[in-house]
Structure 1
């Protein structure tokens, strides 16, 4: 598929999806949302891809909603707005549930829907000059479609503040509240993201996929007999899997596992 709003580059088992609308600070419109949906759906099914990096060209990571798109939405009925919002909601869910680990490489401004985009990724690394803002309430709106991912990332307490105040905050605050996992200088951001991506790519593809599902499905669950049985079932299945057996054998035999050859 050819894309107009993003580029896709592959180096070995790592794919980089780059938002490529620098003239509008990589703001979302219908086309960008549709192309991100298509790209992550496709890449999630490619056997040779083990990691996806979500980056951006230009001075901003993502400025949220495109102004022309917002003007168009201003004339929509409630039903039309709901259908439009579902496109963004589905795109974020596809990134969040992608079977491959996704790493956000954030720089510059990351506002509104851009915060949701970074929060939907498994790991977010930000440049130390990045700034974040959940500005929706200034426009009489709320960050509804991005809220499942942003609240999971920053927690309810921080969300109460930043959803309600629409304050800008910097990368160090994003790190403190858990929205991003680490920060780097502009000069070292590429290297730090590469290191994370390479570490992910070196692990068992099946185990990484199952570990991602484990976090999503176990987080917040009460510790019950059913949960304990489920976790025992999961480890038994993966121990008996081809990669599970190969990984343990490689460790005991002091050699590289087959997925690294």
Structure 2
């Protein structure tokens, strides 16, 4: 099934016990509200699918896994309430991944920025290829990695998270992400990454489904308050998105992108 969205899509394929959810946006797989909403819904639906035992989350293309929030939609935010609704899209996707009773493998084939790092962290197991560098750029545009922060901190620890959040302009190489636990595996080539993803997905597809469900519960113990916390964080980000500082920074970023 493919759900067409203006300037992008979310596509779902069922391969026996494995469900593959793919998203795409021409701006380096950035995430407008429509894609966020569909991602959250499809992850929720796959979790309810009786025949699905494991989910693979991936994006299309080769250079970028996900560029994070849509610059166009960030610029269009006019009120704090509009901002909260936008950032709540990230909260909904992360919570859908957290609550989903099926294990989620993330395929990280390229760079991750902001919310893209959040998606990688919210997956139960992320497998990457060389070039899958990471950056939390939010502070450089007057925001902060508030909504995705709990997922990233949970995966790599407060120290590594603070390094990413504070030095917002610095790319960390894929091996840094592997060494700090964001990626479970890092492969030299895309073909090797895909082979490992297929191997693991097949193994999980033949595992005891009740055991997988219980493992997922254990992995996410202590996160039941995220339904509240992430939306509170979305309100903080939404308010900051309306500030003159952020608007100016976003306009500079837009001009920089246009000049490339």
The answer, yes or no, to whether TM exceeds 0.5 is: yes
Give the structure 2 partner of residue 202 of structure 1.
206
Give 1:214 deviation, angstroms.
1.7
Q: Give CA deviations for 1:201-259 in whole Å, capped at 9, x if unaligned.
A: 1111111011110222269xxxxxxxxxxxxxxxxxxxxxxxxxxxxxxxxxxxxxxxx
Matches within 5 A, 1:79-118: 79-118=81-120
Give the structure 2 partner of residue 217 of structure 1.
221
Quick one: structure 1 residues 200 and 174, their matched pair in 2 at CA, closer, same or farther if it must change by over 3 Å? same
Matches within 5 A, 1:102-251: 102-166=104-168, 167-184=170-187, 185-217=189-221
8 A contact 2:2–2:10 mirrored in 1: no
4+ residue segments displaced more than 3 Å:
none
Give 1:84 deviation, angstroms.
2.5
**Which ranges of structure 2 fall in alignment gaps of 5 or more residues?**
224-260
Aligned counterpart in structure 2 of residue 66 of structure 1, from 56, 63, 70 = 70
Equivalent-residue separation in structure 1 for 2:41 and 2:163 (angstroms): 34
Question: TM-score, normalised on structure 2?
Answer: 0.80
Give 1:200 deviation, angstroms.
1.2
8 A contact 2:174–2:186 mirrored in 1: yes
Equivalent-residue separation in structure 2 for 1:190 and 1:112 (angstroms): 24
Q: Which one has more relative contact order, counting CA pairs under 8 Å at least 6 apart? A: 2
8 A contact 1:129–1:186 mirrored in 2: no
8 A contact 2:66–2:115 mirrored in 1: yes
Larger Rg: 1
Q: Give CA deviations for 1:131-155 in whole Å, capped at 9, x if unaligned.
A: 1111111111100110110001111
Q: How many residues align?
A: 216
Aligned counterpart in structure 2 of residue 19 of structure 1, from 4, 23, 35 = 23
Q: Give CA deviations for 1:141-173 in whole Å, capped at 9, x if unaligned.
A: 100110110001111010111110022111110
Q: Give CA deviations for 1:47-84 in whole Å, capped at 9, x if unaligned.
A: 000000001111311011112111112x2x22222232
Equivalent-residue separation in structure 1 for 2:96 and 2:177 (angstroms): 23
Matches within 5 A, 1:42-57: 42-57=45-60
Give the structure 1 partner of residue 228 of structure 2.
none
8 A contact 2:2–2:12 mirrored in 1: no
Give 1:100 deviation, angstroms.
0.5
Equivalent-residue separation in structure 1 for 2:54 and 2:215 (angstroms): 14
